[in-house]
Structure 1
Amino acid sequence: MGLINKLFGGNSEPKEEKILPWIALNDLSQLESIANKSKTKTQVVFKHSTRCGISRMVMNQFVEAYGLTENDLDLHYLDLLNYRDVSNEVGYKFQVMHESPQILVIKNGVVVAHASHGEINNLDLSTFI
């Protein structure tokens, strides 16, 4: 029975869910604030499509690998389906073509790095602190 439990996930111990210090990005006025704050602290925007399996997979991998703190940078979460106007404005303001999922690293008011899809998890955010 032990082998079958191991093969088919019979472990009854619940996995602890990792919670990141997300800041909800849901208003256009926040974009100017993000640009201003980026002059003293790195700002990161994670654009996520809640209806896309790839976006969910990438986000789960991002959350699992994330090892920074609130002191290192500000981490903004954008549900681009519910806040499409904000998502569109992110592209205009920071001059980055829209993709989903997508991550933008903002310092001194400009995007210094961005990635989409699987490349998000190859981006070492610690190099931008």
Structure 2
Amino acid sequence: MLKKIDTLEQFEELLKKEDKFFILKHSLTCPISHAAFQEYEKYAESNQGVPAYYLAVQEARPLSNEIAEKFEIKHESPQALLIESGSAVWNASHWKITNRALTTAISENK
């Protein structure tokens, strides 16, 4: 199940409580982002083992910017990151965000 976050405080809480999770930076107006979001939803529905979170870039710009700075990964939208033990161990953007890519990211980062 997907869970939306909006604030830096929520993200910092995730870093404390979750050892491994996905976060998707999602644009509400971009068709590529919409396609990536659908793939992300498919992944989240069939893989309950790794929590999946997302943020809407237009609604949470400060959080989106902070994630880019914290992990030193240039902001893109859409963009998926796999966070493990407080570090970004994988990321993908645009058409590279697929159910298969997300599944592979988990199996390669065990």
Match of 1:52 in 2: 30
Using structure 1 for the length normalisation, give the TM-score: 0.73
Q: Secondary structure at the match of 1:106?
A: strand
User: Are residues 1:42 and 2:20 paired?
Assistant: yes
User: Are residues 1:68 and 2:37 paired?
Assistant: no
Match of 2:65 in 1: 88
Gap runs ≥5 in structure 1:
1-20
How many residue pairs are counted as aligned between the two chains?
Answer: 105
CA drift of 1:62 comes to 2.9
Structure with greater helix percent: 2
Gap runs ≥5 in structure 2:
none
Taking the aligned partners of 1:25 and 1:108, their CA distance within structure 2 comes to 19
What RMSD over aligned residues (CA atoms) do the two structures have, in Å?
1.7
Contact 2:77/2:93 (8 A) holds in 1: yes
Deviations 1:101-124 (A, max 9, x none): 000100011000000011111232
Looking at CA atoms only, which structure, 1 or 2, has the larger radius of gyration?
A: 1
CA drift of 1:125 comes to 4.1
